[in-house]
Chains A and B, each alone.
Chain A
Amino acid sequence: MTEAPLLRVYELIKKFGDRTVLNGINLEVSSHEVVCLIGASGSGKSTLLRCLNALEVPEAGSIELLGVDLADDDVRGELVRRQVGMVFQSFNLFPHRSVLDNVTLGPRRVLRHPKAQAVTAALQLLERFGLAEKAKDYPDRLSGGQQQRVAIVRALAMEPRLLLLDEITSALDPELVGEVLDVVRELAATGMTMVLATHEMEFARDVATSVVFLAEGKIVESGPPEQLLHDPQDERTKVFLRRYLEGAG
């Protein structure tokens, strides 16, 4: 008997007005898997991620998370997001709170952990990712890479079952990309289940258990990274990847 997947997406459709952004997505993610979504801007990667943590409500199809259909009336977005962390392209740290207060806000107010416990746990996490000495600083004093690492720590502090990463290196200067990707590599190595949208193909090949290529709101092709990135079957995937390889020079 195989374990039921952590997440099962079935025929998902999401529209913004007349525009269909997701057009029948099917996807399964099991525990400890790392699924990389690739595809051009506007292909629906971000929207799909936002549907997975109930920030967006799809028009049709279903999302089953931990055995629960998210369309159920009794499902609360905030309860879903306790277990599904998300990191954004533009960091979105709270500028009025210190690094430590950014990280402890969720554990203290959502999980109702006592302050001392939340602070200890947060400091441990910050320490683990080399950010301990930044705990008292405000986000504007940090580099982009540091801010994004703090944002990851903020999501991890909630001890999520699933972590969604939405192009988390796209807003970074090239020399800062590495430190953020290293954090994700480490998380992958420790078995964190992740779905991430990325343009870093090398990185996707390293960490992904499967890669999914999206175009115009549909999954064109998916498979293990070696196969999808080096031997794509669909013409559109080939064109997309060729452009990336040329871009990488």
Chain B
Amino acid sequence: MASQDPSGAAPSTPLTRPRSRLWKWTRRRPRAISLASVALLIVTIVLVFALSPGAQSFGHFFLSPHYLRLAFFGDESQSVPPMWQAFLKNVGLCLVAEVLVLLWALPVALLRMSKSALLAGPRLLATFYVDLARGLPLILVVLAVYFGFPQLEIPFVSSRTWFEYGLFCLVFCYGAYVSEVYRAGVAAVPFAQTLAGKAIGLNQVQVLRYVTIPQALRIVIAPLINDFVSLQKDTAIIGIGAGVIEVLKAAQINQGVYFNDTSYAAAGLLFLAICVPLTRLAEHFQAKDQELRLAGAIQVTA
């Protein structure tokens, strides 16, 4: 082309386009601007609540400090259970369930990953189970177990406590999710690692134990914490079918006695107190994993 100038000043798009004043200002004072941004958000939220027509009754029914205290610590004279105590049942249920979920999901995942013709039957069963457990809402499982199992009149199965039924439901549902997390974690380890393990004479089980699983663990820790958070929240559903006073049930009793909904806010606060830090922790692990990836500590290439 004739217009090409060999001296280097070839016609091209300009390197500059004016930026807005706001952009320059933000760039100069990032701290002040981010503070202002957060303040604006808080003020807006407070104003929306404070200026709403029903602000006063909302405050009374949902955010009353008086009823909040009654909700947390209970009231013996009215036989209102203290919610912190009820919440301990949720915590206990979730901790025991989590341990069982982590254990139970392992054979399910291994079975789903197996290739042996001998295991075709169990593998099909495992696939069916995972589809079923992931497809059914927990609340349906709870209702089916609480009302269904006793009716079966099978000696051991039909006479369990609410706690054991609750455990079963949570492990049933979350075991399927966690088995998929395990499977995804193992799949995320490059196949070249499996080859390298085999090449030094490790058998299939040894490759999993010494090569694949240790690397998969770092990948799955964040999704596992996420599932744990969900499980912790879902303990609230267990109270529905059972005569047990876990935190949601306690909140309902409280609400029924005082005709005040602050107890639900109290339940919410209790869950948040556990779930928010856990979510942060998961994000921390995720960020660390990302960091390692960028640093090249985890080989991404096959």
Which A residues are in CB contact (< 8 Å) with B199?
53, 55, 81, 85-86, 88, 92, 155
Separation in Å of the B211 CB from the closest CB of chain A? 6
Residue of A92, A106, A111, A138 touching B192 (CB-CB under 8 A): A92
Instruction: Say yes or no: A105-B210 contact (C-beta < 8 A), given A55-B198, A78-B198.
Output: yes
Closest to B295 in A: A140
1/0 per residue B276-302: CB within 8 Å of A? 000000000000000000011111011
In residues 195-232 of chain B, which contact A (Cβ within 8 Å)? 195-203, 206, 210-211, 214-215, 218
Q: Does B64 have its Cβ within 8 Å of any Cβ on chain A?
A: no
Task: Check if B200 sits within 8 Å of A92, measured CB to CB.
Answer: no
Residue of A81, A111, A140, A154 touching B198 (CB-CB under 8 A): A81
Task: Check if A158 sits within 8 Å of B298, measured CB to CB.
Answer: no
Task: Check if B200 sits within 8 Å of A105, measured CB to CB.
Answer: yes
The listed residue with most B CB atoms (<10 A of its CB), out of A77, A85, A90, A92, is A92
Task: Check if B206 sits within 8 Å of A94, measured CB to CB.
Answer: no
Instruction: Say yes or no: A109-B206 contact (C-beta < 8 A), given A88-B195, A92-B193, A93-B196.
Output: yes
Q: Does A95 have its Cβ within 8 Å of any Cβ on chain B?
A: yes
Which B residues are in CB contact (< 8 Å) with A85?
199-200
Separation in Å of the A195 CB from the closest CB of chain B? 14
Q: Does A82 have its Cβ within 8 Å of any Cβ on chain B?
A: yes
Q: Does A75 have its Cβ within 8 Å of any Cβ on chain B?
A: no
Residue of B201, B203, B296 touching A158 (CB-CB under 8 A): B201
Which B residues are in CB contact (< 8 Å) with A157?
200
Q: How many residues of A contact B (CB 8 A)?
A: 28
Task: Check if A154 sits within 8 Å of B200, measured CB to CB.
Answer: yes
Q: Does A110 have its Cβ within 8 Å of any Cβ on chain B?
A: yes
Residue of A81, A96, A138 touching B214 (CB-CB under 8 A): A96
Which A residues are in CB contact (< 8 Å) with B215?
94-96
Instruction: Say yes or no: A140-B210 contact (C-beta < 8 A), given A55-B195, A78-B201, A81-B199.
Output: no
Residue of A82, A86, A138 touching B297 (CB-CB under 8 A): A138
Task: Check if B298 sits within 8 Å of A90, measured CB to CB.
Answer: no
Task: Check if B192 sits within 8 Å of A95, measured CB to CB.
Answer: no
Task: Check if B202 sits within 8 Å of A88, measured CB to CB.
Answer: no
Query: What residues of chain A have their CB less than 8 Å away from a CB belonging to chain B?
Result: 53, 55, 76-79, 81-82, 85-86, 88, 90, 92-96, 105-106, 109-111, 138, 140, 154-155, 157-158
Query: What residues of chain B have their CB less than 8 Å away from a CB belonging to chain A?
Result: 192-193, 195-203, 206, 210-211, 214-215, 218, 295-299, 301-302
In the A-B complex, the 9 residue pairs with the smallest Cβ-Cβ separation, listed nearest first, are: A106-B200, A92-B196, A82-B201, A110-B201, A86-B199, A78-B203, A140-B297, A81-B201, A92-B192
**Extra 17 A-B pairs, beta carbons < 8 Å, given A88-B195, A90-B192:** A78-B198, A81-B200, A86-B199, A92-B199, A94-B193, A94-B197, A94-B211, A95-B299, A96-B214, A96-B215, A106-B200, A109-B202, A110-B206, A111-B201, A140-B295, A154-B200, A155-B200
